[in-house]
Amino acid sequence: MNGKVWFVGAGPGAPDLITVRGARLLAEAGAILYTGSLVAETVLEWASPDCEIADSKSMDLQQVTAWLLEQAQRHATVVRLQTGDPTLYGVFAELARPLDHAGIPVGIVSGVSSAMASAAAAGECLTLPEITQTVIFTRLSERTQMPERESLTALAAHGCTLCIFLSIERIEAVVEHLTAAGWHGTAPVVIVHKATWPDEELILRGTLDDIAMQCRVARIDRQALILVSPALGARAWTDAQPSKLYDAAFPRRFRPAS
């Protein structure tokens, strides 16, 4: 009788930012396969001492699939532990297909995305009333080709918040795309390297004009999220439009207008 394979989001890095459900499954798992190049090993503190743990950083897709298939025949609970959230910039569909074909049940446990963790680490909001109410998660086109309609220049032209993944090694190209989309050189940019990773998190603040140089000086070329938004720095604004959420003159279901 086959066990169940769970794809668990480890969150951005800090071991206590995994969900309660994710931690419970790690404790129950007879086998865990984690992405050692991306997931902080501290997250594995939730695993039981006798759990079989393997690192997939040197495995190809076929080897990962074979490992999961084998372990699902030996254990009731198997965990594939991935950075962030399994449904974002991962290969869940590719790994789930052979499991589905073999009749092995599959489950997903959401994880805290590095986009949210980066905004929190920097003390920023991704949306702001009457400034931007849209957030785009995207990346530069590289080995994984982007659909033509989703070029960074086209998306950046909306002028909303951009959370740019997997592109820090080409920060100069990111700046070029944003400039071509109409963003000014003084537009604020926040770079968060290894958000929430114990003793490794680093935050850079700059503008389109200087952020690439800051990244090179700090030697940040991987595992970093790029935040670009007209809402960055809003905590220091004195003339921001207040939200209607707590406006006394704005009626709500449980609070009449005064």
Q: Give 118-152 pLDDT, tens digit per residue.
A: 999 999 999 998 899 999 999 997 777 888 889 99
Helix axes 92-101, 61-72, angle to 10 degrees: 40
Query: With contact defined as beta carbons under 8 Å apart, do 104 and 72 qualify?
Result: yes
Q: How far apart are CA 245 and CA 48, in angstroms?
A: 45
Q: How far apart are CA 257 and CA 60, in angstroms?
A: 60
255 forms bridges with which residues in the sheet? 252
Q: How far apart are CA 247 and CA 20, in angstroms?
A: 35
Is residue 250 pLDDT above 80, yes or no? no
Fold topology of 114-235: 3.30.950
pTM: 0.90
Q: How far apart are CA 19 and CA 236, in angstroms?
A: 32
> Are domains 4-109 and 114-235 of this chain identical in fold?
no
Domain boundaries, the chain: 4-109, 114-235
Q: Give 40-73 pLDDT, tens digit per residue.
A: 777 889 999 999 999 999 999 999 999 999 999 9
Q: The CATH number of 4-109 is which of 3.40.1010.10, 3.40.50.970, 3.40.50.2300, 3.40.50.2000?
A: 3.40.1010.10
Within 10 A of 127 (CB to CB), how many other CB atoms are there?
A: 16
Burial letters 95-126, b for 16+ CB under 10 A, else e: bbebbeeeebebebbbbbbbbbbbbbbbebbb
Q: How far apart are CA 109 and CA 8, in angstroms?
A: 5
| Tokens at 228, concatenated | 């670009």
pLDDT score for 222: 93
Helix axes 171-180, 211-218, angle to 10 degrees: 170
